[in-house]
């Protein structure tokens, strides 16, 4: 009889601990999902000076590359109107002052090489020539998962306009 009671107590205790762990995991997941569902902070455009449009020549493949400053650090980007977000390589994120932990890489991203994980961050300051945008949502990818930094729509949607004209990509300011 004592053996039956001990087995029942052990089962109930184990089930309770497992249920608590699942509940705790669900709460953490729910908290993370609610954080990600929050609207991104609105970027502000520096309007303290009048600046001309930025004109980028397309290369022979139809791509527009540019040097941008992210948090005061110059880096090369592919200006990509098809990219939903700005995506930067982990080594460039470090140069821009971000110190990421393994646990920061929480966003699943589908790549040509399968599913990879990226870390969501907010870039304090992004400048392309005379265009300056603050608080830009971005993803940081491992260097082996991202060959080139991408200047995507989380930046481009904040300029006055983007148009393609005679082999040039024009960012209106």
Tokens encoding 165:
């004209």
pLDDT score for 51: 63
Q: What is the pTM of this model?
A: 0.70
Question: Residue 24: in which H helix or E strand, if any?
Answer: helix 2-37
For residues 146 and 165, give the distance between their C-alpha atoms in angstroms, rounded to a whole number.
28
Q: Which residues pair with 111 in a beta bridge?
A: 114
Q: What is the dihedral of CA 132, 136, 141, 144, to 10 degrees?
A: -10
Measured from the Cβ of residue 106, the count of other Cβ atoms closer than 10 Å reads: 11
For residues 27 and 25, give the distance between their C-alpha atoms in angstroms, rounded to a whole number.
5
The Cβ-side half-sphere exposure at 15, using a 13 Å CA radius, reads 6
pLDDT score for 43: 47
The tens-digit pLDDT sequence of the chain (173 residues) is: 444 444 344 444 444 444 344 444 444 445 444 444 445 445 455 544 456 899 999 999 999 999 999 999 999 999 999 999 999 999 999 999 999 999 999 999 988 789 999 999 999 999 999 999 999 999 999 999 999 999 999 999 999 999 999 999 999 98
In the three-class reduction of DSSP (H, G, I as helix; E, B as strand; rest coil), residue 30 is classed as helix
pLDDT score for 112: 79
Q: CA–CA distance from 90 to each of 17, 27, 75, 104 (Å)?
A: 38, 29, 12, 12
Q: 114-128 and 131-141: which strand pairing?
A: antiparallel
Tokens encoding 130:
């005379």
Q: What residues contact residue 167 under an 8 Å CB cut-off, 6+ apart?
A: 57, 58
């Amino acid at each position: 009889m004592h053996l039956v009671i001990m087995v029942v107590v052990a089962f109930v205790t184990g089930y309770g601990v497992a249920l608590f762990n699942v509940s705790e995991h669900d709460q953490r997941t729910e908290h993370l999902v609610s954080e990600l569902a929050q609207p991104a902070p609105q970027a502000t455009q520096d309007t303290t000076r009048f600046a001309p449009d930025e004109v980028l020549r397309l290369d022979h493949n139809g791509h527009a590359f540019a040097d941008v400053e992210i948090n005061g650090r110059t880096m090369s980007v592919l200006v990509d109107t098809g990219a939903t977000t700005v995506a930067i390589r982990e080594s460039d994120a470090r140069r821009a002052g971000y110190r990421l932990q393994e646990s920061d890489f929480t966003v699943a991203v589908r790549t040509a090489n399968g599913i990879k994980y990226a870390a969501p961050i907010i870039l304090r300051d992004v400048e392309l020539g005379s265009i300056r945008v603050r608080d830009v949502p971005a993803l940081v990818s491992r260097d082996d998962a991202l060959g080139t930094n991408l200047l995507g729509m989380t930046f481009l949607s904040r300029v006055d306009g983007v148009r393609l004209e005679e082999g040039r990509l024009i960012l209106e300011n």
